[in-house]
Structures are given as structure tokens and as C-alpha cells.
Amino acid sequence: MAVLNSRGLEVSGITAATPDPPGGHLGRLPNGALDGTLEGGAQYSLVHVPPLPIGEQVDGVEQSCQMFTAAGIGTVRDPVVSPEGMRLYQEAEELGRLSLRVRPLLLIYPSGSVDQRIAQIEGFAMRSGFGNKWVKVWGLKFVMDGGPEGGALDDPYVTDHSFRGHLNWDPEEMFAMMTAAVRRGWRVATHAIGDRAVRTVLDVYERILATNPHVSDHALVLEHAFLADKTQRARAIAMGVHITVQHALLHSLGASLLRLWGPERTRPIMPVRAWLDEGAELSAGSDYPIGFYEPVRTVWGMVTRQTESVGIQGPEYAIDRETAMRLATVAGAHLSGEQSRLGPLAPGRLADLVAFRADPMTCDIDQLPELKPVITMVGGRAVFDADDLFASKAAMTAGTL
């Protein structure tokens, strides 16, 4: 969701006569006038904000890196990146302003002809794995449905029995696009939260695998999969589809989900325990800025299933702390195909590590949300040093202390 004031609507050229774009919806008052809200793809395809000067954008990237490394994050998988965003990351890296690793996903919009969109993919002049140790392209990003306000459901919304959400892509067009992508060496990740969206994406993935037997591991990923029943989970597992889960979404969106989808569909959202028991390959992240981004809070959330304002949802899908820590660390390296270099603390791996004032594996579980790192290292370099421990050691070595 996004909100624009009157000036924002004017700058973007959005009027009461503007139709809803593919995969999005313009909020309206009872008289048909715009109310300023934009749901789903409307915020990506309609909003036009003049860019800041490149220097200010690089400053923003550096500040974001500082914020993330202070939380113990060494790698970010950025799931919505434009060609301009890629150039920004490149600029920041060349200037030495990146202090963590970035794995971007280039967003593919559900608008225009299939030929135009295939030409867009070909115009990227790269494919998955392109880049260096700091900025390396993960793949392409498709968005099949919306959030709680637009997720594609089999049954109607609690608040509107005529509404079942929206599918942003025609399945045949998505199949054609993804076929072109995987044949060019691209990994593909698709946002799908509603049960209708999850099933539709798995239908497309099934066809992709049947017609492209060369597709490599982790080439097809399902993002979020809020509602995936036992049948759909079994299909995804059989196909080797990697699932990403983000407790921060359930935590922050719990109240909206209860209101719009009802308790029976909110309780089993992102059934992590069931996925793992049945043999799925999962990794955990945040989907920031929808919710929090701190990894220790992600671990806490998967252990407790706690939400911001509506209590615990689906406690039977909670997991133990050790498993949650693995999903938030080592599993992410597998998702990026970098498990030989990143993930566990072991000889031969890159020295990406974080140290805390208390042991996150043994402290009281409710301490985790407030647990702050002392040191974050990326590639053996201290990129966050709360107490200047490394600076003090360097000074002692130099004989100045």
C-alpha cells in the first residue's frame, strides 16, 4: 500500500479517470473521487517521484548499510530493484560505500506485451550471478498478487463477499516470460500470498520444469506463500521449489489479516513447522520495510508466532530456536547458491559473523527482540563496532594506548 496527497497525485498524473493498472487498485471515495491510496502494483507503475541527485542516493544507501550492519546483517537480498537501482548499487560499490553484500532481484512489471517484456529481460545484458562479491544479481522478481488487501484467495474476503483479491499475471503470459528467463540462465522468484495465487504460481512452475529439465537448483523460488495447504506444500516440495518466509509480515500485518481474511486463514499463515516437517527447503528474511528487519527478532518471531497487536497466531507452526537461527543464516546462503563461501562459521568460509552481549541461543527468548550486536564483521572486516573494540586493539598494537 502507498498513500499520496493531492500534490503527489498531480505530479504522477493520476486523476479520477485513471483506470486501475494490472496488479493494482486505486482507492476511491463513494462518489468515485480518489482517496489517495494505491494498492499493489499501482504504486510501482503509476507513482513518479523525481529522483534525488545521485550523491544523495548513495548517501542513503550508505546509511541503510549502517542501519543493517548495526543489526547484525551481512547480506541483503533486495527483492524489488530497477535498472536505475542496479546502477545506484554499482555507484555505491565503486565509491566504497557498501559495507554489506547485496543480492538484487530485478522487478518485472505485469504490463505490456509478452514480446516487450522478453525484450526487457534481454535488455538487462546480464543474468543471475553477474557481479562481484559485493553486488551480485540474484535473479528476476515477479509479483502474482497483492498484500492482505489484494492477495488472491479461493474464498471471498471477510469484509467483502464479492472480492477474492487479484492475480496480477495471466498464467499463460507468466509461463512464456519465465520460460524465456530460465532459458537465458535467470533465477526466478515470485511473490504469492493467497492460496489461489500460490496454486497458480505452482501450476506455472510445474510447466516450466516439465519443459525445461535443465533448470538448476533454486532457480524457482516462492516468496512468502502465506496460505499453502498440505496439497500445495507437497507440490512445491516435489518440484524442489525453495520457500522464503518472513515472520515480520505476520507480526506487523496480523490485525489487517484478521480483519480482511478472518481467523481461520490468519492462523496458518506461513506454516513454517509444517513446511519443515514435510521436507521443504526454507530460508527466513524480513521483507522490510513492511515489518522489522533485525534477524534476532525474526528468530524470536518464528519461535513464538507473536504478532504486534493480535497475540499469538498459529502456535502449532512455531519452531525451535536452533532451527530458526539456521533459517535466518545458513539457509540464506543456500538460497543464493553461496553455501560454499557463506553461512556456517568454518574454515574456508568468508568471515561474515556477528557477536552479541548475550548468547542468542540460550538467553530468555523474550530478550531476543532487544538484543543488539557488539560487532558485525563482513569478510573479516568490522563494519559495525559498537564499543570501538577493533579501533582500541589497533591503537594498542600501534603503541598509542
- What are the pLDDT digits (tens) for 21-49? 877 889 999 999 999 999 887 887 788 87
At 1 the pLDDT is 83
89, 80 contact by CB (below 8 A): no
Q: How far is 332 from 329, CA to CA, in rounded Å?
A: 6
Kindly state whether residues 20 and 120 are assigned to the same domain: no
Kindly state whether residues 92 and 213 are assigned to the same domain: yes
The H or E element containing residue 333 is helix 330-335
User: Helix, strand, or coil here: 225?
Assistant: coil
Residue 357 lies in a domain: no
pLDDT digits (tens, 9 = 90+) for 123-171: 888 899 999 999 999 999 999 999 999 999 999 999 999 999 999 999 9
pTM recorded for the entire structure: 0.92
At 288 the pLDDT is 95
Kindly state whether residues 65 and 28 are assigned to the same domain: no
Q: How far is 89 from 135, CA to CA, in rounded Å?
A: 7
Kindly state whether residues 283 and 135 are assigned to the same domain: yes
At 262 the pLDDT is 98
386, 375 contact by CB (below 8 A): yes
Q: How far is 188 from 128, CA to CA, in rounded Å?
A: 9
Residue 376 lies in a domain: no
Residue 362 lies in a domain: no
- Give the end of a domain, one of 309, 329, 347: 347
Check which CATH number belongs to the domain holding 72 and give it.
3.20.20.140
Domain count, the chain: 2
Kindly state whether residues 239 and 183 are assigned to the same domain: yes
Please provide the average confidence, as pLDDT, over all residues in the chain: 93
Kindly state whether residues 29 and 68 are assigned to the same domain: no
Kindly state whether residues 112 and 182 are assigned to the same domain: yes
- Burial bucket for residue 59 (CB in 10 Å: 0-12, 13-18, 19+): middle
pLDDT digits (tens, 9 = 90+) for 160-209: 999 999 999 999 999 999 999 999 999 999 999 999 999 999 999 999 99
Query: Cβ neighbours of residue 276 under 8 Å, at least 6 residues apart?
Result: 282, 319, 323
Percent of the chain clearing pLDDT 70 (strictly above): 98
At 394 the pLDDT is 55
Kindly state whether residues 6 and 106 are assigned to the same domain: no
Average pLDDT over residues 55-81: 97
Residue 378 lies in a domain: no
146, 165 contact by CB (below 8 A): yes
pLDDT at 398 over 80: no
312, 300 contact by CB (below 8 A): no
Kindly state whether residues 165 and 251 are assigned to the same domain: yes
Residue 324 lies in a domain: yes
Average pLDDT over residues 201-229: 94
At 375 the pLDDT is 96
At 393 the pLDDT is 61
Instruction: Provide the residue type at 215 as one letter.
Output: V
At 392 the pLDDT is 62
Q: Residue 67 — φ and ψ, nearest 5°? A: -65, -45
Q: How far is 107 from 69, CA to CA, in rounded Å?
A: 25
156 prior amide bond cis, ω within 30 = no
Kindly state whether residues 12 and 112 are assigned to the same domain: no
Its domain, for residue 8, covers 2-45
Q: How far is 190 from 348, CA to CA, in rounded Å?
A: 33
Q: What dihedral do alpha carbons 295, 296, 300, 303 form, nearest 10°?
A: 70
Residue 392 lies in a domain: no
Q: How far is 87 from 82, CA to CA, in rounded Å?
A: 9
287, 338 contact by CB (below 8 A): no
Kindly state whether residues 170 and 128 are assigned to the same domain: yes
Kindly state whether residues 155 and 251 are assigned to the same domain: yes
pLDDT digits (tens, 9 = 90+) for 272-326: 999 999 999 999 999 999 999 999 999 999 999 999 999 999 999 999 999 999 9
Work out the pLDDT band at 95, boundaries 50, 70, 90.
very high
Residue 159 lies in a domain: yes
38, 4 contact by CB (below 8 A): yes
Residue 356 lies in a domain: no
